[in-house]
Amino acid sequence: MDCIKLLPDNIANQIAAGEVVQRPASVIKELLENALDAKATQIKVLIKEGGTSLIQIIDNGVGMSITDARMCWERHATSKISQADDLFRLKSFGFRGEALASIAAIAHVEMKTKRKEDEVGTFIRIEGSKVIDQSPVATVNGTQFSIKNLFYNVPARRNFLKSVPVEMRHIIDEFVRVAMPHPEVAFSLYHNDKEVFVLNIAKPEQRIADLLGKKNSDDFLTVDETHEYLNVKGFVGKPEIAKKTRGEQFIFVNQRFIKDAYINHAIVNAYDQLIAKDQFPFYVLFLSIDPAHIDVNIHPTKTEIKFDEERMVYTLVKSAIKKALGQYTAMPDLEFANPHIFSPLRDLGTSKTHHIVPEPKIDKGYNPFKSDTQERWKPIQSQQWHQLFENPYIKDNTHQEALNAQKSLPIEHQATVISDCLILPNGFLVAVKNAQLIIVDQRAAHERILFEKYCQNILYRSAAVQQLLFPRTIELSHQDYVLAHEIMEDIKDLGFDVADFGNNCLIINGVPAETLKGSEKELLESLIESFKNNSTNIVGDKRQVLALAMAQNEAIYRTKTLENEQAIDLLVQLFKCETPATRPNGKPVYIELGQQKITDFFN
């Protein structure tokens, strides 16, 4: 008996829809791109309940004939290409002919469309790939799509949708990526009848400012570099506006948003020595290239592109950014042929005599109040390894006997007893805990301590708040602004006193008590960015994700040299934690070398 069967079209469409339509934002992206391909100059987007109950797209494009209105819902039906070679001459966004068929397979769809030359338009209603109604209708020029009850017949996929704020955040991301490279088109977005964006036709820099909430476009540096292979235009941010969030970074190739780690590396490399390692520059770059040099047929989402000359793209992008930054900073560039172009001595006058100012030599180790009793608090030197196995603070036999009694207990019942500590370079501590030699990563240890502390603060809402004398405002992109509202209550439980200030701004009235003065804005930005990056990578309560983000931002670095007492105190706090051996991400905090291990090693 034959086993292989040809699947019905509606089932095949549902399966294929899993690649094209992953969430409501995917529908927004596909329909917006279709509107642009239809030469629309005005596009309106209406959303209800994060797109799960209604998505409506209204455009004033060229519209469709009666035949095209029916044919566009068939799989692999497209007006963009007719042969394989057309893939290398693409100037449109869509070309696969899969989007509308996929959407119709998993939703209730209605469409009204009319061409300028037609007297009446066409109305079509489809449910689960089945055409329910097709009839003439009075409508305006252009096309209107109404997508209702997304994933109504795929309950497993519908159950995997996130909350309304999360889905709305993804919709805003896609809307921004489509609207940004098309300032010649007016866009608007409404959610539950509330205005989110109303974008008029504007200059590119004004469109970027409107979408990202930038009030001062003077912070943009213009990038404009023309080459026979690639044109690079757009804007980059001045080094001083770099943030600890990576959200404001956009690359477009032929007006199509892409994700490319290689190009991103070229841009960040151009900012070398201008911004800190943990900061991210702002950039919006528009790359124009002959379609014959790229391949966009990599993935159904079309956010990946292959260049035939990747290294040339890297070099051209990097040099274009460095040129823009160089004109602003007037700093010497090591790649210039003449290293004396920016010599700082050229304009200091005609005098050739350089006076050398003597520097006083100070003995920083001198302490007039130092006494012999302080000698025992010195960190142990490398030649004094034998002292690691002694406790210099225990001088009487009673305490020594108590320590010996502790060693005889099972390890799970032993109290935390830390002998002296050896501080190694690069942030590693060596100590003896209950006759075991341990080597501890000081940053990992501090991260574990802070993580458990912040988890407790959130759980019991016990964080100490330090009120600011002068409240600080923080301006966010619209996406980060929506995210901040989603996690606002949990942020407050961490010790932040934060309130909405309107216009994509938050006002910080108070911060956790341990926060360094002056770092309030950067800390909150880092917290939002860390949550955005880790929320999909860590399984668990979002409050744990926030606690981890805070711990990672506040933990001391390995480059910080601790005093001996500070190191001992850190180790004592570590071994009071519930899980001292590992960081929240599962990596080890310390390694332990018992006597048997050491003996086995030498044997």
For 503-528, the pLDDT digits (tens) are 778 898 888 876 766 667 777 877 78
Residues 215 and 192 in one domain: no
Residue-level pLDDT at 122: 95
Q: Is 365 within a domain?
A: no
CATH of the domain at 416: 3.30.1370.100
- In this structure, of 121-135, 349-363, 477-491, 565-579, the range with the lowest mean pLDDT score is 349-363
Residues 311 and 275 in one domain: yes
Name every residue whose Cβ is closer than 8 Å to that of residue 135 and which is 6 or more positions away in sequence.
Answer: 122, 123
Q: Is 395 within a domain?
A: yes
Q: Is 121 within a domain?
A: yes
Residues 405 and 535 in one domain: yes
Residues 146 and 217 in one domain: no
Q: Is 348 within a domain?
A: no
Greater confidence, 257 or 597? 257
Domain coverage including residue 293: 205-329
Classify the C-alpha dihedral 274-270-473-210 as positive or negative.
positive
CATH of the domain at 316: 3.30.230.10
Residues 430 and 519 in one domain: yes
Percent of the chain with pLDDT over 70: 74
Q: List residues bridging with 146 in a β-sheet.
A: 56, 110
Residue in the structure block whose two tokens are 């003896």: 432
Residues 259 and 148 in one domain: no
The alpha carbons of the chain give a radius of gyration, in whole angstroms, of 31
Residues 306 and 381 in one domain: no
Cβ(56)–Cβ(45) below 8 Å: yes
For 1-40, the pLDDT digits (tens) are 666 777 676 666 666 655 668 889 999 999 999 899 899 9
What is the distance between the alpha carbons of residues 415 and 41, in angstroms, rounded to a whole number? 72
Residue-level pLDDT at 556: 86
Q: Is 367 within a domain?
A: no
- Phi, psi (deg, nearest 5) at residue 474: -130, 125
Mean pLDDT across the stretch 559-565? 85
For 422-446, the pLDDT digits (tens) are 888 888 998 887 778 889 999 999 9
Greater confidence, 252 or 11? 252
Greater confidence, 89 or 561? 561
Query: Can you read off the two tokens belonging to residue 470?
Result: 């002068």
Classify the C-alpha dihedral 448-453-454-455 as positive or negative.
positive
Residues 582 and 531 in one domain: yes
What is the distance between the alpha carbons of residues 490 and 484, in angstroms, rounded to a whole number? 10
Residue-level pLDDT at 361: 54
Cβ(556)–Cβ(444) below 8 Å: no
Residues 171 and 214 in one domain: no
Residue-level pLDDT at 286: 95
Instruction: Please indicate, yes or no, whether the overall pTM of this predicted structure exceeds 0.75.
Output: no
CATH of the domain at 89: 3.30.565.10
What is the distance between the alpha carbons of residues 247 and 282, in angstroms, rounded to a whole number? 8
What is the distance between the alpha carbons of residues 238 and 158, in angstroms, rounded to a whole number? 43
Residues 497 and 549 in one domain: yes
Statement: residue 244 has pLDDT above 80? no
Greater confidence, 602 or 89? 602
For 47-56, the pLDDT digits (tens) are 999 998 999 9
- The count of structural domains within the chain is 3
Q: Is 2 within a domain?
A: no
Residues 186 and 220 in one domain: no
Ranges of H-type helices in 72-163? 99-105, 155-159
Query: Can you read off the two tokens belonging to residue 517?
Result: 């003065």
- Domain final residue, candidates 174, 201, 228: 201
Statement: residue 530 has pLDDT above 80? no
Statement: residue 532 has pLDDT above 50? yes
- Domain final residue, candidates 154, 169, 201: 201
Q: Which SS3 state, helix, strand or coil, does residue 349 take?
A: coil
Angle formed at CA 102 by CA 101 and CA 104, multiple of 5 degrees: 65
For 353-401, the pLDDT digits (tens) are 444 555 555 555 555 555 444 444 444 444 444 444 444 444 444 445 5
- Domain final residue, candidates 201, 222, 256: 201
Q: Is 357 within a domain?
A: no
Residue-level pLDDT at 320: 94
Mean pLDDT across the stretch 580-598? 84
Residues 126 and 196 in one domain: yes
For 146-168, the pLDDT digits (tens) are 999 998 888 878 888 888 888 99
